[in-house]
């Protein structure tokens, strides 16, 4: 029996998954902000604002890193049958997941260039996947 062939999910499916993940992450950030505000107080200006921003980035990184390194799928990725895997098709280590998150943040900071990269990439992969040596794969229904 031959090994399964890797297939990249379509851009529309990944965009829908990204939107769903954004909704879930918004809820996670909303909940994570409560303890931060209890400790920091008013975080609308000054260093407290920056501490809150760092806290949010850490919480989102932990959320995504946890799911990506434990099965390769967030809830949205399970729904849209997309899995994150290493270049060899295996699972992603926690350090690799966090590296992918850091590259994705950088690509987002550059007006979404890391995501727009998928339009010109030969395998339709995001730039942060290329840099982190990961890939998104379609998961066949069981």
Q: CA dist 67 to 4, 53, 92, 100, 138, Å?
A: 23, 22, 10, 13, 17
As a whole number of angstroms, the distance between CA 40 and CA 96 comes to 31
Place of tokens 């975080």: 43
Instruction: Report domain extents, the chain.
Output: 11-138
pLDDT the model gives residue 3: 54
> Which comes out higher in pLDDT, residue 119 or 23?
23
How confident is the model over 39-97, as pLDDT tens digits?
988 888 889 999 999 999 999 999 999 999 999 999 999 999 999 999 999 999 999 99
pTM: 0.89
- % of the chain beyond a pLDDT of 70: 96
Is residue 2 scored above 50 in pLDDT? no
């Amino acid at each position: 029996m031959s090994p399964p062939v890797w297939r990249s999910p379509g851009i529309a499916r990944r965009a829908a998954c990204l939107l769903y993940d954004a909704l879930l992450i918004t809820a996670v950030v909303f909940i994570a902000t409560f303890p931060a505000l209890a400790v920091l107080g008013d975080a609308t200006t000054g260093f407290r604002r920056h501490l809150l921003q760092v806290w949010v980035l850490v919480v989102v990184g932990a959320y995504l890193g946890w799911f990506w390194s434990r099965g390769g799928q967030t809830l949205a990725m399970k729904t849209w049958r997309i899995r994150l895997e290493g270049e060899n098709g295996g699972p992603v280590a926690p350090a690799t997941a966090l590296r992918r998150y850091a590259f994705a943040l950088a690509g987002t900071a550059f007006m979404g260039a890391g995501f727009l990269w998928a339009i010109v990439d030969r395998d339709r992969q995001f730039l942060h996947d290329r840099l982190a040596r990961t890939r998104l794969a379609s998961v066949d229904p069981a």
